Amino acid sequence: MVEPTIFHSILSREVPASIVYEDDEVLAFKDIHPKAKTHLLFIPKHFVASIADVTPETAHIPGMLILKAQRFAQEQGIKGYRLTFHVGKGGGQEVMYLHLHFLSEEKLKAL
């Protein structure tokens, strides 16, 4: 049984978020407590709780998130950025829905 998280509610639009990118596989939105000028979260539409839960069947998902983040940065003209997965409570993961942090000191272009 999947315990619904705040990111499930953002995905279903029950909770508003500042969405910056969406396609069939991912949603990306601004982190509500940004730790850099640009701080985004990329989440897969297919639920996985954490990197710790990735299986051979879902191993493509973290790479897919990285590729989406890379393309997004290229489109935005963002040259340098940091990508982070927090894994489990001990790794600082508070929301148990796999997400890739995207941090950059360069500002996003206006939508």
Count Cα neighbours of 82 within 13 Å in the Cβ-side half-sphere.
11
Structure tokens at 75: 């489109």
Q: Closest CB to ligand AMP among 6 and 64?
A: 6
Positions in 44-103 near ligand AMP (CB under 6 A): 86, 92-95
- Burial code of 80-95, b = ≥16 C-beta within 10 A, e = fewer? ebebebbeeeeeebeb
Q: Which of 8, 39, 99, 101 is catalytic?
A: 99
Known catalytic membership, residue 60: no
Q: State the minimum distance, in angstroms, from the CB of residue 81 to ligand AMP.
A: 15
Other Cβ atoms closer than 10 A to 15: 11
Binding residues for ligand AMP (CB under 6 A): 6, 15, 17, 29, 31-33, 41, 86, 92-95
Active site residues: 99
